[in-house]
Structure 1
Amino acid sequence: MPGRAALAAALSACLLVGGCQTTTSLPSWMNGGKSESAPPAQPAPAKTATLPAPATTPPQGVPQPAPAPVAPQPAMTATGELLPTTLSTDPAADPTAVRIALLAPLSGPSAATGQSLLNAAQLALFDAGNSAVTLKPYDTKGTPDGAATAATAALNDGAVLVLGPLFASSVTAVTPTLKAAHVRALAFSTDPQVASPGVYVSGILASEQARRVVAHARAQGITRFAALSPEGAFGRSMVAAYEQAVIASGGTLVKTLFHAPGEDLQTKLRAFTDFDTRAATLAAQKKALEGKTDPASLEAMARLQTQDATGPLPFEALLMTASGTPLKEELAVLSVFNADGRSVRLMGPMLWNDPALLRDPGLSRAWFPAVPQASFKAFSQRYQQAFNEQPSVLSALGYDLTALAAVLARQSGGRAYVDSVLTQSGGFAGANGLFRFRPDGGNERALVMMENTANGPVVAGEAVSSFTAADAAKPAF
């Protein structure tokens, strides 16, 4: 299509040049939709005039030692926050001109993911229309060593903010170099273990997903939870987040089960669901109805004949972490013990937002979190028009972080990328919805709750519209 080709060409022209639009208007979704102006970073303190010291004349003929070199002092904001050492000191330079580095795997096994992040970043720069911002991509090759090399190259080129890298090991590799230069990083990782002040992870964290699903369940009166997960780092992390959210909300986690490949899952789930006790309850109810011929008893017996067990499960909601084939295996065994989505409320991670997966009848009525649909749909349409492919939630991180960088640079240039500005309490609104960075390097997000129905997933709980409302309703943990 000519329109798509023209837009793609224009986006390519933006790269390494800056924002292409001349308009001064900003994307309406930034800064919570409340203002078109980025919050200004604090200006550097004015230098205090110092009177010159009286001149002294050294004694004739006595050699004087060379003056000791004076180490340069890092520039600071008025509130004492260290500014990037890569900021230009040329008094004739445009103070709003900034260089932003995008660190992503542009080669190797994850090259397609890296390219989608770069595509979205170019689109954001085009939309933001800030011609003073220059974006340059650096290939991390998907490895820690590649990321470290890319970070050094970016600093040598004068980058005052780094977007990326993607993988947790790469974030760890670049952290010392960036911190030494006081250059902040907005990484794409979902691992809170690599976050720290000045190195912010923007991926949607397990803790945020768990907090959202548990809060929704508690609002519906559910108090008793159980957790089921395959063994693995993600499963362990997600179950820990579930447990923390349940406890903080006043609920009870009554059971937790991890299972490894090759283990007898049927035996484990039989005990986990209290199947034998429930089967004995069923047998007792059938025996009590034997010989009765009244209509009510006959109807009850007919209903019991279709069941393998009866009576309540030991939990009202089952928090799960698996997706894909492992989830399908769990659902198949749960159905044998009358404990799938038709008997208990199943709750899972954002990975469940997969049309093929949601067709499984075992996921009937299942709940899972997602990014707000309207904002992501608008981004998705723009992305498809430019690049002729469907973006992911991860791609949208590339858009959101680049747009945020462009907006913050409008008033204060590279001086805007300090912790007090990046962690402002009101947060920012982007393609993936409302988000904000925490001082410890983590992030918080406003997610919607989806419920799987016979006609596909529908919104069961809206995302909060501001972090003021979220803070009021959120348990502290």
Structure 2
Amino acid sequence: MFAFLSSARKVLTRGVFVSATLALAACQPISIGGIGGGTSGGGSGPTIDTSVPVPVALLVPKSNKNASSVATSLENAARLAMADLTNVKIDLRVYDTAGSTEQAASLAQKAVADGAKIILGPLFADAANAAGVAITGQNVNVLSFSNNTSIAGGNVFVLGPTFENTAERLMSFAARQGKTKVLIAHPNNIEGQFGRNAIQQAATRNGIAVASVNDFEFSQPGVVAAVPQIKSAMDSTGADTIVLTSNSAGALPLLGQMLPEAGVNPANVQYMGLARWDVPAQTLELPGLQNGWFTMPDQGTVKNFEARYTQAYGNAPHQLAGLAYDGIAAIGALVEAGNSKALTSSALTQGAGFQGVAGAFRLRPNGTNERALSVAMVRDKQVVIIDPAPTKFAGAGF
């Protein structure tokens, strides 16, 4: 544990908080609707002939040295999903964005000119935003791999797991457990602001008061200085819950160690986290995380996909690969119904959603998504599922 915390302190000193997924899939947001989702409506979409192969453009950064392995994994997963379709043929056309925003915009236009009826990708948020803008008015929707909800809306949907979805799952569960006041602790950066906003909005929707919002400087001294301030805020507000937006590569190890030492006792206060607390496994040993809650997708379905991918391609998939599988699975399910309007926004946002790599998911009219998540607890340094992920959706969602 001490070695792990020492490593975490070094990471904090360098100021590297952002998780690999967020860094790859979100990057710096190009806002078209503010944090939390853009214009609702999602674009209209094309008319297609479901009796012939449907042209689908896959935009991935194949020649980008920092993301080529992700691109390969995404393409492989898309082809694996195509192989799983029974009565649908997909004409997959792959375009290399090289990780360039300008190239993504140009290739989105080329893909539509080539006959693409829907675009899957790009990976980076700014590229996805640019692609959507480049083909505005051409009746083609973009299913991007980003998790940055500030680019969602119009003809752009985000497939990546979002803070909003995680926050809603946590706050709705907390409300059912009788929690009434929450304190939010977050780094004062873009990632932290996204997390803060997501918790605030989800708490309001579920009747939970936000008792205090505590941000801290994006550094080790900032985290250390914030601990007594958080303790004071907990005492003065009587909050029964604290939400930590940070992940294991950021402030979580220090907060998980120092807050209990300062008197924020997990036996009396419910800890919750927006990030996965089981990665890496050492995180589960942190004192502040004992009996704490976080979310995770159904691991049975995830492991099934990983095993099938590994068997097909000889190596494990990148953690984002499932997003490409999900995109093809959704397209296939809609086209199989034989509806010529299968790829319009109204079809893409059907309430029943789709079955994907990590279980049920659905796209929302504002371009964001909702994914079925389990609520997990850290019990005796082990992960225990205390509220399993639903297997299907009911109603219109949040």
Alignment of 1:61-460 (within 5 A): 83=46, 95-108=51-64, 109-130=66-87, 132-260=89-217, 261=219, 263-274=221-232, 314-323=238-247, 324-339=249-264, 341-354=266-279, 355-412=281-338, 415-454=341-380, 456-460=382-386
Task: Check 1:313–1:381 CA distance in 2 against 1; reply closer, same or farther (3 A cut).
Answer: farther
Check whether the contact 1:353–1:370 (CA below 8 A) recurs between aligned residues: no
1:358-395, Cα deviation, whole Å (9 max, x unpaired): 23233211211111222222212211212233335521
**1:166 Cα deviation after fit:** 1.5
Range that drifts further, 234-243 or 178-187: 178-187
Check whether the contact 2:118–2:343 (CA below 8 A) recurs between aligned residues: yes
Task: Check 1:413–1:121 CA distance in 2 against 1; reply closer, same or farther (3 A cut).
Answer: farther
- Match of 1:147, SS state, is helix
With the length of structure 1 as denominator, give the TM-score of the two structures: 0.68
Check whether the contact 2:143–2:327 (CA below 8 A) recurs between aligned residues: yes
- Match of 1:351, SS state, is coil
Check whether the contact 2:106–2:134 (CA below 8 A) recurs between aligned residues: no
Check whether the contact 1:187–1:201 (CA below 8 A) recurs between aligned residues: yes
Task: Check 1:155–1:419 CA distance in 2 against 1; reply closer, same or farther (3 A cut).
Answer: same
Q: Quick one: distance in 2 between partners of 1:416 and 1:443? A: 18
Check whether the contact 1:98–1:413 (CA below 8 A) recurs between aligned residues: no
The aligned amino acid for 2:274 is: P
Q: Quick one: distance in 2 between partners of 1:189 and 1:95? A: 31
**1:415 Cα deviation after fit:** 4.3
Check whether the contact 1:178–1:185 (CA below 8 A) recurs between aligned residues: no
Task: Check 1:366–1:328 CA distance in 2 against 1; reply closer, same or farther (3 A cut).
Answer: same
Q: Quick one: distance in 2 between partners of 1:340 and 1:233? A: 29
Q: Quick one: distance in 1 between partners of 2:154 and 2:109? A: 20
With the length of structure 2 as denominator, give the TM-score of the two structures: 0.81
Check whether the contact 1:230–1:259 (CA below 8 A) recurs between aligned residues: yes
Q: Quick one: distance in 1 between partners of 2:261 and 2:294? A: 23
The aligned amino acid for 2:61 is: P
**1:459 Cα deviation after fit:** 0.9
**1:343 Cα deviation after fit:** 4.7
Task: Check 1:424–1:131 CA distance in 2 against 1; reply closer, same or farther (3 A cut).
Answer: closer
1:46-69, Cα deviation, whole Å (9 max, x unpaired): xxxxxxxxxxxxxxxxxxxxxxxx
Q: Quick one: distance in 2 between partners of 1:399 and 1:459? A: 25
Q: Quick one: distance in 2 between partners of 1:407 and 1:82? A: 16
- Match of 1:459, SS state, is strand
Task: Check 1:386–1:122 CA distance in 2 against 1; reply closer, same or farther (3 A cut).
Answer: same
**1:315 Cα deviation after fit:** 2.0
1:61-92, Cα deviation, whole Å (9 max, x unpaired): xxxxxxxxxxxxxxxxxxx95526xx68xxxx
Range that drifts further, 235-244 or 426-435: 426-435
**1:169 Cα deviation after fit:** 0.4
Task: Check 1:375–1:333 CA distance in 2 against 1; reply closer, same or farther (3 A cut).
Answer: same
**1:347 Cα deviation after fit:** 0.8
**1:331 Cα deviation after fit:** 2.2
Task: Check 1:414–1:142 CA distance in 2 against 1; reply closer, same or farther (3 A cut).
Answer: farther
Task: Check 1:154–1:368 CA distance in 2 against 1; reply closer, same or farther (3 A cut).
Answer: same
Aligned residue for 1:41?
Answer: none
- Match of 2:213, SS state, is strand
Which portions of structure 1, spanning 4 or more consecutive aligned residues, are displaced by more than 6 angstroms?
A: none
Q: Quick one: distance in 1 between partners of 2:286 and 2:113? A: 52
Q: Quick one: distance in 2 between partners of 1:401 and 1:255? A: 38
Task: Check 1:356–1:118 CA distance in 2 against 1; reply closer, same or farther (3 A cut).
Answer: farther
Task: Check 1:270–1:176 CA distance in 2 against 1; reply closer, same or farther (3 A cut).
Answer: closer
Aligned residue for 1:55?
Answer: none
Q: Structure 1: any 5+ residue segments left out of the alignment? A: 1-79, 89-93, 279-311
